[in-house]
Amino acid sequence: MARQQWTRTALRPRTPGPVARIAAVAVAALTVLAACSTGAPQRQGGSPVGHDGRPTVTVVVTPSPVAVPPTTITSPQAGRTVDPITPVTVTAAGGSLLDVVMRNPEGTVVTGAMADDGARWQTTEPLGYSKTYSITATAVNAAGRQTTTNMSVSTVTPGNMTMPYLNTEYGTPIANGGTYGVGMVVVVHFDEPIPDRAAAERLLQVTTTPAQAGSWYWLDSQNLHWRPENYYQPGTQVTVKANVYGQDLGNGLYGQSDEGVSFTIGRKQVTVADDTVAGPGRIKVYDQAGNVVRTMNTAMGRHGGTTVNGAYINFYTLNGSYTVLGHENPASMCSDSYGLPANAPGGYACENIPWATKISVDGIYLHELDTTLYAQSHGLDVSHGCLNLNRADAQWFFQNSLVGDPVVVKGAPGAPNVQVWQGGDWSLPWDQWLAGSALH
């Protein structure tokens, strides 16, 4: 059989039929999808090309932006009535605060501080009573959208207010930066009765350096005294604060203002008057080392008393521990001041008495009285309760004593003890003193 001959010929492209055209479209679609998902190679400086070098179509899909909610600005105190000392706060959720402006009714801006992250702002000064404050706060969210909110806050209207005064036992203001004796007693006087004594006492603070524990004692509903258990150490720094502003002291009575004072305790000097000494030298003044720095003669209060209009008037120099309350030169002294008429037996009209150092609220002094020199030198008790001195001793004691210096009187037979209300704070045993605190 003859071998069949094969001739190699070039293939010519044919016009695609319908099926081929559908396939081509499908391939093109796949190419488009591939370009979207895998990123086909491109010619530099030209159109994208597929693997066969033909141009392709690139489709870029941009996702829709996610909506960022606006910032929410709130204040817990908005629309409420608040006390004037709790800071007003403004917070931002979903963004950060750009600016907060708070104004009082007169338009004055209230000072405040913004947190570093802008999430919180708060006032840094007390507010006033009975005021409504406007707040305008602006914040921005992550998309840069700003939100502004307006709010208001109102403060309480007190039913009544009380002012604390920081005094000595004699009722004079404690001198800021002053120097006082080791028996100094701090007195806080409120000009209104205090319904909630415990609440008021918690707002009173005494700090001593070096530290020395002490306690308050309520004399009545308006006055309370503070002292340590023992005399202060010389050189002690004492700071007293009454932080009552904005605070409810009971039944709608609010503190009118905060008050504070600081003072120093000076050298120690203690004076002892011994009524059992039947002669000269009944008074001795001791320094902080216990040395006697002055010896003085005195005539003290006559023993007993008298009754006038049903009231008993005591002529004793009461036993107990006093402190120096003040200095008067002269002091005006009248028997009428303690209920004994000038024309009654033993009474006397007003006199100006020099070099008078007061040690009790109700009028016991160490003072000059030359008319009783005979009694002073013999230790006789002829006064109405004061300690009579000669001029030299009265002047020395006046010039060398500090308010708060202890003065101890002892030995008067049958004499009662000086009471706290009279200036005898140091006469009260410590356990009884503690019992006088509303927080005991």
The CATH number assigned to the domain holding 171 equals: 2.60.40.3710
The residue segments making up the domain with residue 295 are 269-430
Under 8 Å between Cβ of 201 and 251: no
Report the phi/psi class of residue 130: left, alpha or beta, with left for phi > 0 and alpha for psi in -120 to 50: left
Q: Are strands 406-410 and 269-274 parallel, antiparallel or unpaired?
A: parallel
Per-residue pLDDT at 18 exceeds 60: no
- pLDDT value of position 3: 38
Residue 378 is among the residues annotated as catalytic for this protein? no
- pLDDT value of position 273: 97
Same domain, yes or no, for 231 and 312?
A: no
Instruction: Please write the tens of the pLDDT for every residue from 150-192.
Output: 999 999 999 999 999 999 999 999 999 999 999 999 999 999 9
Tokens linked to 35: 């370009």
3-class DSSP state for residue 255?
strand
Position 118 in a domain:
yes
3-class DSSP state for residue 111?
coil
Q: Which of 36, 225, 327, 367 is catalytic?
A: 367
Q: Which of 303, 378, 384, 386 is catalytic?
A: 386
Under 8 Å between Cβ of 102 and 112: yes
Instruction: Please write the tens of the pLDDT for every residue from 81-122.
Output: 999 999 999 999 999 999 999 999 999 999 999 999 999 999
Q: Dihedral (C-alpha) 362, 363, 366, 370: value to the nearest 10 degrees? A: -150
Position 105 in a domain:
yes
- pLDDT value of position 334: 84
pLDDT bin (cut points 50, 70, 90) of residue 63 is low
Mean pLDDT of 309-318: 88
Peptide bond before 210: cis, by omega within 30 degrees of 0? yes
3-class DSSP state for residue 116?
coil
End residue of a domain, out of 213, 245, 266:
266
- pLDDT value of position 35: 36
**Structural domain count, the chain:** 3
Of all residues in the chain, what percent carry a pLDDT higher than 70?
85
Residue 386 is among the residues annotated as catalytic for this protein? yes
Taking Cα atoms as reference points, which of 299, 293, 291 lies closest to residue 273?
Answer: 299
DSSP 438: T
End residue of a domain, out of 211, 236, 266:
266
End residue of a domain, out of 155, 179, 208:
155
Same domain, yes or no, for 292 and 424?
A: yes
Q: How many CB atoms within 10 Å of residue 341?
A: 14
pLDDT bin (cut points 50, 70, 90) of residue 344 is confident
Instruction: Please write the tens of the pLDDT for every residue from 280-298.
Output: 999 999 999 999 999 999 9
Average pLDDT, the chain: 87
Strand partners, 338: none
Strand partners, 137: 100, 149
Beta-sheet strand order (sheet of 146-155): 81-82, 146-155, 132-140, 96-103
- pLDDT value of position 10: 36
CB neighbour class for 133 (10 Å; exposed up to 12, middle 13-18, buried from 19): buried
Mean pLDDT of 398-410: 98
Per-residue pLDDT at 15 exceeds 80: no
Based on its alpha-carbon atoms, the radius of gyration of the chain, rounded to whole angstroms, reads 45
Position 62 in a domain:
no
Using CA atoms, how far apart are residues 321 and 341, in angstroms rounded to an integer? 29
